[in-house]
Amino acid sequence: MKRASQSSQPTPASVTSTAGQEPPLPQSCSPKRAARKDLGMKTQKRLRSVSMLLCILPLILGACSSNVTRYPASTLNGYRLSNSSKVANVSIFLSSDAKAELQDNLKFDQEELRKYVERALSSYGALDSTKRGQLPTIEILVTRIRIRSSFSAIIWGVMAGADSVTGDIIIKDVTGKEIDHFKVAASYALGGYSGGQDSTRLNWLYEAFAKEMLKEMTKS
Distance CA 124, CA 105 (A): 31
Tell me the DSSP string of 124-160.
TT-B-GGGBTTB-EEEEEEEEEE---HHIIIIIGGGG
Across the beta sheet with 64-70, what order do the strands follow?
64-70, 178-188, 163-172, 137-146, 89-94
Distance CA 182, CA 78 (A): 9
Average pLDDT over all residues of the chain: 81
Q: pLDDT of 43-85, one tens digit each?
A: 666 666 555 444 444 444 456 889 999 988 777 878 999 989 9
Q: Which amino acid is at 71?
A: Y
Question: Above 60 in pLDDT, residue 171?
Answer: yes
Distance CA 123, CA 56 (A): 37
Question: Above 70 in pLDDT, residue 3?
Answer: no
Candidates 3.30.160.150, 3.40.50.150, 3.30.1490.120, 3.20.20.70; correct CATH number of 63-218?
3.30.160.150
**pLDDT, position 205:** 96
How many percent of the chain have pLDDT more than 90?
Answer: 53
Whole-prediction pTM value?
Answer: 0.70
Q: Name the region of 125 (left: φ>0; alpha: ψ -120 to 50; beta: rest).
A: left
Burial class (CB in 10 A: 0-12, 13-18, 19+), 82: exposed
**pLDDT, position 163:** 93
Query: Strand 89-94 relative to strand 163-172: parallel, antiparallel, unpaired?
Result: unpaired
Report, as an integer, the average pLDDT of 110-137.
97
The backbone torsions φ and ψ at residue 18, rounded to the nearest 5 degrees and listed phi first, read -115, 15
Number of helical H runs and strand E runs in the chain? 6, 5
Distance CA 146, CA 43 (A): 39
User: Residue 5: pLDDT band by 50, 70, 90 thresholds?
Assistant: very low
Report, as an integer, the average pLDDT of 35-49.
67
Domain ranges of the chain: 28-61, 63-218
